[in-house]
Amino acid sequence: MFQQGNFRGFEAELHEPGIAVITFNQPERMNGLTQAIKRDLIELLTQAQMDDRVRVVLFTGNGRSFSAGDDITGRPLPPGTPLVPDIFPGHREAIGTYEGLRVLSQTLNSAVRNLDKLSIAAINGIAIQTGLSLALSCDFRLASREARLGSATLRFGLLPDEGGQYLLVQLIGVARTMDFLMHKRIVSADEAFALGLVHEVVEPGDLASRAMELATELANGPQVAMRLLKRTIYNAAEMPWAHALDDIAGKTAISDHHPDAREGVAAFRERREPRFNQWLNK
């Protein structure tokens, strides 16, 4: 069951028709993330995946940051209900850094990417390093015109170690990724749109309403077909032609026989709007 409430570093709410809104709520920390916050987010995303009430997951932030990256201040954890027990965060030595990245930091972006349900990043402000990779892991990205996006890890002699290099290559290609990372670029929302990092740029006052409008559109679509299509699109980016054909054939064998497909055909014949997702109301 998807839990709602005020947790450490973020709050979660469920809106009709099945929109789970996760808001980073530590603006005084630029919505920086810690290993404990990431672990709680992984748990919440697992709940969202398995809760039929949730159809779309929407991330956004309070203040002038979406998330400015990892919180490296060493300050105590923000108040809020923990979703899972704390464990050692790693990073004390080389093998600890490897384990912390693989088990916690990278796993958060994998959890977003692996959601069958569609995800949206409403980028209200600064999205740097961890914040950028989290946003890039989402299926849709809307940006406030005041947003700024970048990795900037090389400014500290560090690497985009949570999958940022992979996500950038997938979205904008090798040459542009090389330029973006090696030149430590932090780009405006309009520049991010031109690069292909975000789908839309809206005025700051319109971001929340536009994000909810998009989330509602996605939530009202045929959920089974959309989830299968999402997976096969990501698979197609890494599969040979023959494997991609087989992959979508197997998924079509599910979607063609689902009640949503029968409803879609009936609605077309009757010249009306389809009423998808009746199976979720049972």
pLDDT of the residue at 76: 80
Please tell me whether residues 255 and 178 are part of one structural domain: no
Answer whether residue 4 shows pLDDT above 90: yes
Please tell me whether residues 139 and 33 are part of one structural domain: yes
Nearest Cα neighbor of 120 from 169, 195, 56 is 56
What value does the mean pLDDT take over residues 225-252?
Answer: 97
Q: What is the pLDDT of residues 19-60, one digit of tens each?
A: 999 999 999 999 999 999 999 999 999 999 999 999 999 999
Q: What is the pLDDT of residues 152-210, one digit of tens each?
A: 889 888 899 899 999 999 999 999 999 999 999 999 999 999 999 999 999 999 999 99
Answer whether residue 266 shows pLDDT above 90: yes
Please tell me whether residues 159 and 62 are part of one structural domain: yes
pLDDT of the residue at 72: 75
CATH of the domain at 241: 1.10.12.10
Please tell me whether residues 50 and 183 are part of one structural domain: yes
**Helix, strand, coil fractions of the chain, as percent rounded to 5:** 50, 20, 35
Distance in angstroms (rounded) separating the CA atoms of residues 244 and 146: 39
pLDDT of the residue at 152: 83
Secondary structure class of 75 (helix, strand, coil): coil
Please tell me whether residues 163 and 253 are part of one structural domain: no
Please tell me whether residues 62 and 165 are part of one structural domain: yes
Number of structural domains in the chain:
2
Answer whether residue 103 shows pLDDT above 80: yes
Tokens for 245, please give them: 């054909």
CATH of the domain at 181: 3.90.226.10
Across the chain, mean pLDDT equals 95
Interior angle at CA 151, CA 146 and CA 25, nearest 5: 55
pTM above threshold 0.85: yes
Answer with the one of 176, 193, 220 that is the final residue of a domain: 220
Please tell me whether residues 115 and 138 are part of one structural domain: yes
Residues linked to residue 14 through DSSP beta bridges, in sequence order: 20
Answer with the one of 197, 220, 243 that is the final residue of a domain: 220
Please tell me whether residues 199 and 230 are part of one structural domain: no
pLDDT of the residue at 28: 92
Please tell me whether residues 78 and 164 are part of one structural domain: yes
Going by pLDDT thresholds of 50, 70 and 90, the confidence category of residue 80 is confident
Answer whether residue 237 shows pLDDT above 90: yes
Answer whether residue 114 shows pLDDT above 90: yes
Answer with the one of 220, 241, 268 that is the final residue of a domain: 220
Counting residues of the chain whose pLDDT is more than 90, the rounded percentage is 87
Please tell me whether residues 238 and 149 are part of one structural domain: no
Domain limits at 14? 5-220
Please tell me whether residues 195 and 234 are part of one structural domain: no
- In degrees rounded to 5, what are phi and psi of residue 166? -65, -45
Please tell me whether residues 181 and 235 are part of one structural domain: no
pLDDT of the residue at 78: 78
Query: How many Cα atoms within 13 Å fall on the side-chain side of residue 226?
Result: 17
